[in-house]
Amino acid sequence: MSPMPEEIRRALKEMGPGATLEMNLASKAMFAPLILPIEGVVEQLDQPYGQHPRHQFDLYAKPGVTGAPIVIYIPGGGFSGGDKRQDQAFFGNLGRFFASKGMVCITANYRLSPEVSWPAGSQDVAALVAHVKANAARLGGDANRIVIFGHSAGAAHVASYVFDPDLRGHEEVAGAILASGLYVLRREEMRPNVALYFGEDEATFERRSALSHVAGTKVPVLLSVAEFDPVSLATPTFEMAIALTKRDGAPPPLLRLDEHNHFSCICGIGTKDERFSGALLDFIAKCTA
């Protein structure tokens, strides 16, 4: 039996594949009441990691925690929107969930298009990780036990940070989680919001595609895709899985999140539906053991 309430399961199925603002808002409205209450987590909000107003993070941890694994979450938003704390529920649900499991969780913002373009997002991730590593002890965590987690546009930025030869994030973190992101650029799949960030010059597409730089890296990666992801945000995950399989000589962990859409998979973290969150905890434990 599905752990998802029947009325929500039906509603997500009726919505079908997509990643529209309307689906985003509807999914959040359905899942907000399902988030389980968590007590005893300290929240330090709007902490700076750079000079730009968007260079801020929220920190969630149990009081007195030391030497804990650190999970850094980079949210989506189509490269031109999104926020680490969109409302009272999201993405505090994620921060409080990981903190309740004895980790330090950081949710962070980054600069957006059209103010900035590639590679600003991944450079911001690099600056954030450097800040967290330098301050890990003060934050209650272990600088050598950082797992970086991105969803949608956030996953694209994380993938660029991890794999790009100019950033070499694979040398800085213990693991990476990539959920329903864009990792390869193609003219026939170029949407306006993507073009605004990555540009439209086909001569740059290979260099700006994270998929191009997987070979030679070493970081463990967990991939996920939702059943109702749009095709444009599902196929890159499988292409990334192929690249990682070639890199490692074995397939990476790959989750297909049944009954979920592009947004609900993240909204479900911290609810009774543990199909995603349970796998996340297993992966993080392996990376940070």
41-62 confidence digits (pLDDT tens): 999 999 999 999 999 999 999 9
- Residue 135 banded pLDDT, cuts 50, 70, 90: very high
Task: Judge whether residue 1 has pLDDT over 80.
Answer: no
Label the pairing between strands 254-261 and 221-228.
parallel
pLDDT score for 2: 82
Average pLDDT, the chain: 97
Residue 146 near residue 114 (C-beta atoms within 8 A): no
- For residue 188, the Cα-to-chain-centroid distance in whole angstroms is 25
Q: Is the dihedral of CA 98, 100, 104, 106 positive or negative?
A: positive
Q: Report d(CA 174, CA 170) in Å as an integer.
A: 8
Residue 98 near residue 60 (C-beta atoms within 8 A): yes
Percent of the chain at pLDDT > 90 equals 97
Average pLDDT over residues 208-236: 97
Cα atoms in the 13 Å half-sphere on the side-chain side of 93: 25
91-130 confidence digits (pLDDT tens): 999 999 999 999 999 999 999 999 999 999 999 999 999 9
143-178 confidence digits (pLDDT tens): 999 999 999 999 999 999 999 999 999 999 999 999
Which of 95-99, 188-192, 214-218, 222-226 shows the lowest per-residue confidence on average (mean pLDDT)? Answer: 188-192
Percent of the chain at pLDDT > 70 equals 100
Pick the CATH number of 6-288 from 3.10.560.10, 1.10.8.100, 3.40.50.1820, 2.30.30.100: 3.40.50.1820
Ranges of each domain in the chain:
6-288
Its pTM stands at: 0.97
pLDDT score for 86: 87
